[in-house]
Amino acid sequence: MASRLGYDKLLVGADMTDAVAEQARFDIRYLYLAGGLGTGNCATSPEWWGCWQDLAVPPGQYLRDLLAKTRLPLVSYYELLQTSGVAEGKPEVDALKNAALLTRYFADWRFVLQQVGNGPALLHIEPDLWGYAQQANPDPHAIPAAVTSANPIDCAAQENSVAGFARCLIAMVRKYAPHAKVGLHASAWASGIDGTDNRDPSVDMPANARKVADFLTATGGTDMDFVVVEASDRDAGWYKSLGRNTFWDPTNTTLPNFHQAFAWATALTERMNQPALWWQLPLGNMALPNSGLQWQDNRVDYFFAHPDEVARTNAFGMVFGGGEAHQTEPSTDNGNFVKKVQQLVAAGGQAACP
């Protein structure tokens, strides 16, 4: 599946600073666009991603800079929740009926794509949203969304549903950023059983993955280029400090473990016939002190020790980064991540599955 995207090696990347990016041969560098949409005026909406640079510079320079200095940029677009101002979950899905909100949303997505233009990029649309939509209704065609009234310019022919919303966003990529690849996000918990945290050995994990796959295929999976999967949005040591155990067993003898998560992802990709990108993988390692920006986790070490297992999930890449500001970063992990990347490159990389 990965070969359809033109990649014969498993790609590696991260959300990282320029200083880290210079230390190894990274394939992907990603940027998380979130925080809510502004008015297009940086003087009144400095929190908008388009203003994440000197306010004297025209909007969007922050993204244009990433595009210019990265071999393959990845943009994760997560704007619906904070722009809507509603609670996470079903209220976020219900907000898709708001035509005024979607008008602003589509306009900003168009602006993102115009910055990408004819360059190469990976575009990752709305992590979590599709999982909440599936839990609200297993039929994405039955979940209303104000698509045509919000964007008659690009999507007059799309249906007014969550499926129409997804297909509109994908169609806009083809129109405004024709050389970019686009994927929706597969939430491991969308079926009601978490494929990354299940502790019940009687659960049929591939069957649960296929439920998620079927929803995403009905939503927009036949139009997109890849699907995004993840392990955890936080370091396991950070969660442990809150009394929650999210470690995966590296010996794969007790649940949750790596083989369970990989089985879920493999079943998902096979059902969708789409390659996967492992995204937002925690950067902690077991030598860190569990404080500050240095939390323990074992995902980096396992993924780099077993890249063949990662590739067999039909993955074309793995990218690392925290989902919250207090997690381990590539610049705070005492060099572990960069060292792993250097070692993988020196070994010739990992062949992607055909």
Distance between CA 55 and CA 134 in Å, rounded? 39
Q: Cα-atom radius of gyration of the chain, to the nearest Å?
A: 19
Mean pLDDT, residues 211-220: 98
| Residue 276 scores a pLDDT above 80 | yes
CA distance 208 to 121: 30
pTM of the model: 0.97
pLDDT digits (tens, 9 = 90+) for 235-263: 999 999 999 999 999 999 999 999 999 99
pLDDT tens string 56-99: 889 999 999 999 999 999 999 999 999 999 999 999 999 999 99
- The encoded tokens of residue 333 equal 């992990």
Cβ neighbours, 10 Å, residue 53? 17
Instruction: Measure CA 63 to chain center.
Output: 17
pLDDT of amino acid 41: 80
Residue 84's contacts (CB-CB under 8 Å, 6 or more residues apart) are: 91, 92, 95, 98, 101
Contact 170, 223 (CB under 8 A): yes
For residues 73 and 28, give the distance between their C-alpha atoms in angstroms, rounded to a whole number: 6
In which band, very low, low, confident or very high, does the pLDDT at 43 lie, cut at 50, 70 and 90?
A: confident
Share of the chain above pLDDT 70, in %: 99
Task: Quote the pLDDT of residue 179.
Answer: 97
